[in-house]
Amino acid sequence: MVHNPDRLDQTDARLLRALTDQPRATTIALAERLGMSRNTVQARLSRLERDGLLESFERRIAPRTLGYPLSAYVTTQVTQRRLDEVGAALAQIPEVLQVQGISGQTDLMVQVVATDGDDLYRVAGEILAIPGVERTSTALVMRELVDYRISPLLRRLCDEPADSSVS
């Protein structure tokens, strides 16, 4: 079987499920829990990191703990030939957490954080001032109904029932 670097196999999924249950687990603890050798676990984790299949640890830090309690999405319409320039400029704004190219009426979905309403106004203004940005629309996140999660997909890949835990 040929390894697809963009797709997990069932063993990788089991390993990641164990990590979601115990994020601070050592390689040895993961190996014992999954009945694998320490070297196999370490090699698989290294490959997942190298292939870009493990996200940054930054995802686990809540912006509110850094003084940014407001979260918003700024949809952004861009002059197409300037898309790369706009992306580079957005990366220079510290309050910009993530930028995704999307289909539809707008081109980019920009996730931002702010300290308060005035700060959000400033951040949205910085985005609008970027050369190549034609129009923006800001939507304040009022409440998060479902936290970011990946476990249900890992359970599916492991062929586990929705409420099971890794054994």
- Measured CA distances, 146 to 61, 97, 114, 149 (Å): 17, 18, 21, 8
Question: What integer pLDDT is reported at residue 90 of this predicted model?
Answer: 98
Q: Does domain 10-54 have CATH number 3.40.50.10470?
A: no
- Angle, helices 27-34 vs 38-50, to 10°: value is 110
Q: What is the mean pLDDT of the chain?
A: 89
73 in Cβ contact with 138 (< 8 Å): yes
> What fold is seen in the domain 60-140?
Alpha-Beta Plaits (3.30.70)
State the pTM of this model.
Answer: 0.76
- Measured CA distances, 162 to 14, 20, 22, 34, 157 (Å): 14, 14, 18, 19, 11
The DSSP-derived string for 54-111 is: S--GGGGS-GGGGT--EEEEEEEEE-GGGHHHHHHHHHT-TTEEEEEE-SSS-SEEEE
pLDDT in tens, 1-19: 344 556 788 899 889 889 8
Residue 35 or residue 61, greater confidence: 35
Q: Of all residues in the chain, what percent are helix, strand and coil, respectively (each to 5)?
A: 45, 20, 40
Residue 104 clears pLDDT 70, i.e. is over it: yes
Give the pLDDT band (50/70/90) at residue 59: confident
Question: What integer pLDDT is reported at residue 1 of this predicted model?
Answer: 39
Q: What is the mean pLDDT of the segment spanning 90-113?
A: 97
Give the pLDDT band (50/70/90) at residue 118: very high
Question: What integer pLDDT is reported at residue 2 of this predicted model?
Answer: 43
* Ranges in the chain annotated CATH 3.30.70.920: 60-140
- Report the SS3 class of residue 39: helix
Give the pLDDT band (50/70/90) at residue 165: low
Radius of gyration of the chain (CA): 20
The letter for the amino acid at 156 is R
* Ranges in the chain annotated CATH 1.10.10.10: 10-54
